[in-house]
Structure 1
Amino acid sequence: MEFWAMVAHESDDGIVLTRQQVDESFLGPGDVTIKVHYSSANYKDALAITKGGGVVRKYPIVPGIDLVGEVVESSGNSSVDFAPGDLVIAHGYEIGVSQHGGFAEYARVPADWVVKLTDLSPREAAALGTAGFTAALSVQTLLDHGLTPDAGPVLVTGATGGVGSVSIDILAGLGFEVIASTGKTDAGDLLSEIGADAVIGRLPEDPSAARRPLNTARWAAAVDSVGGASLAAVLSAIGYGGAAAVSGLTGGSELPTTVLPFILRGVALMGIDSVNVPIERRRELWSRLGKELRPRHLSTLENYAPVTEAHRVLHSIKDGTHSGRTVLGVAGEF
């Protein structure tokens, strides 16, 4: 079997993403072979085609940490039986990092990395992808911590990004008052449309307040995908017993704060990892994403491009000019 793929190659000049015909030997180890319908564009994919990005262990590789499609073959070595024609999504684990990912017409992965789709179409699942799953995991973690709509407003940083925008949509649908933080001054109308009650600038807004480990409490909880000084400002203004669900570091990996928010206000810092979530938890959350956690404005957030234009889309993510979620069409696009 021969098929088309977008393959990232490393050279002295950088990483080059090229359209390439490959054969079945290019498929990775696994129990389930999937005909890929869609992938999506993520910040991690942008790093995969960036020299020194630090996410790919060995080139060449097919990027695409998300892949959505239909099963063509399964050995059945799983707690869930997959049959040809089943619509599925796989993301995280080693996909697009050390095992070929979704930017190809076919992929093969272990069965215990695969989620069967029930209440979402393949395109909806791709529009959500890793970012949507991370948003759902962030919101669910705050709910499990005891957060309720009557506790007060919830802040979402990096509001125009994939995690941020889907988090706003989910939280608003659950009845929360949502405050969106973004550095994009022209994003107010979009953020209001998907459920933000107010839009503020990138944090910290006040440089003098940024140096204080505690500020006036402004929100009950936060979903943060930025990290760095922004997260420090967020933590300083969370009210007593609140929590921050943290999943990103686009603003830096250092956290310039003190223990005061934690020991004086009982704030909880809750790390969100979407890569290695156990498969049963993953399947449960995807089920909820098709039901009570389903975003109401996914079509508003979605952009579309053929996978052959992945290089352009990923560079817009890296440059900070991208908003929402971009579905990358694979089937029929090579």
Structure 2
Amino acid sequence: GMAGMHGSYAANMAITECDLLVAIGTRFDDRLTGDVENFAPNATIVHFDIDKVEINKIVHADISVNGDLRWSLPRLGEKLAAHETHLADRYSAWRQHVNSLNQAHPFRTRDLPSAVSPQRLLEEIEKQTPGDTIYVTDVGQHQMWAAQFLPLNKARHFLTSGGLGTMGYGLPAAMGAKVGKPEATVVLVTGDGSILMNCQEFTTLYKYGIDVKVVVLHNNVLGMVNQWQRLFYNGHCAESVIRNNPDLAAIATSMGVPGKTLHEPKDLARAVAGLFATKGPALLDVFIPEDENVYPMVPGGKRLDQMVLGGDAPC
């Protein structure tokens, strides 16, 4: 699964404990590595990349393969196939160890009786959408929750600006995905900060009948910035609280895109069903707790095994 700053406990511990790390087309950015000097400290690192500049730029590769994956990965597959009968037995204990870590520390958000859980919301969306749904995100907490709780097992079915941090990316990207693949279900997962960056494009959805379903995780803060400020800056929440947001459902409706608002957990399944039953583009504005945090979290400059797991306690 996903590793790094908000990656899974199992993935981060696997990187920390492994003796061999095969990196395929990764640039080892700081969101992945944490404390780069102590990244995968026990591992022989093998780095495949088409761009020679990326090799040894941040993390030293003990073995590097500079070239197109279209020829290099099949060659690797041929080598592994020669040892396949032995590999399953040799690494079964390691697989069991990593799986047990995943079971012990799964991704989760709080279940509060009076508020919608981001986890339950995203799980309900997945439940009510087909397996080839294209998910698009903006930037922030909702982006990390989407990566944690939505299925990421098909190419070009999870569109996000990643570490570029481009708020406002989501709605235009979702439009492009729907126009490019009109037969697919396209869902934009966004935040109340990000959606306001390009909300004028609701008029484009309406004008051209572009069927994008928009789900806003609405917490009245710039979530990721606010989380950092609360956890690491003594609660000095500078310019990250936006409680005077306009009515997002009304904004969408005024531009021709039907909008609904959800506050109560008991109405979750019905509200999501209503969103997808709406013909054409539609918006569901879901209010979530202002103080909900994304866990695990690797604080800046810390090792991957120095995660904060919840309750603001380090692992």
With structure 1 as the length reference, what TM-score do the two structures score? 0.32
Q: Greater share of helix residues, 1 or 2?
A: 2
Larger Rg, first or second structure (1 or 2): 2
Q: Greater share of strand residues, 1 or 2?
A: 1
